[in-house]
Structure 1
Amino acid sequence: MQPLYEERTTRRRPGWMWAGAAAGLLLAGGMFVGNSTRARTPVAANRPPGETFVASGTVLLGDRGSFVTDGHGGCSGTGGHADVQEGAQVVIFAGLGFAGGRLTDARALADGTCQFRFSVSGIPARQDSYLLMVADRDSRQYVEQELKSALLALRVD
């Protein structure tokens, strides 16, 4: 006589399979715990990547020995200030970024000074401090509010 149902035989899984499954669970659990306990940056501290501003102002050479006039109302630096001339670079460093512009509109003024204008756009906003350099000269430190001021004037002599 034959049995009504077939007797099932169970096969044992090898030990290395159980060890692999346990290692996988530990790894997944560790990744979950690591991500949930990591310190997060507050959303308010994240700045939009494109937030910038424009700084405009004047650069003055006030010592008669630091510039010459061209006879047509213009002027340019001379001697130790020969690099201060129309077209010279103005660079503002901010954190890891920077923005640049050029000196323009050189004018010899009636008060005996030589004045240049500049405008630098694309300056990264909300940085701790900014370094402004004119014509590769020593940089000067500013805060954002000073750079946004309508009366930004540098004297380089």
Structure 2
Amino acid sequence: MSRIRAEPLPLDELIAAVSHPGAGGIATFLGVVRDVNEGRSVTLLEYEAYGTMAEAELERILSEIAAEIPGVRVAATHRVGALRVGDVAVACAASAPHRGEAFRGCRLLIDRIKERLPIWKREHGPDGPYWVGWEDARCSGEDGHEDAHGHAHGHGGTAPPGSAGV
């Protein structure tokens, strides 16, 4: 089971998707919107995704983990749209015959989702909105400051990866 969705995430559906008689352990992970990130106050997060690509990549991740860990079953959902502090942004579940494999499967799942899914996060706070982790690839500056082209880098960016940056 994998889904990119705007609706709240159903943890019970994820658990049901990985449950089976041979599962001796089920591990879950919920990624929740917090009120501070890197010292900045956060009031709202907006997630945007390249939907079909994100779904396909999530399916690849699930297949990889199932092939790497014998007996593991994994499922995940990631939310898009506007989320408030306390909302669940991502939910993962993994089952296996033993708890160690279930924990490992769940950890691999969230780590690979964070690394590989084409999903972008825009945080809102007292200083206005900013894209998290965005850096304008057209410019060589790496220090998070504006360069000679007038583009901001790092947290100062105002657009997701691949956008015009205006």
Alignment TM-score, normalising by the size of structure 1: 0.29
Compare CA radii of gyration and give the structure with the larger one: 1
Alignment TM-score, normalising by the size of structure 2: 0.28
- Is the helix fraction higher in 1 or 2? 2
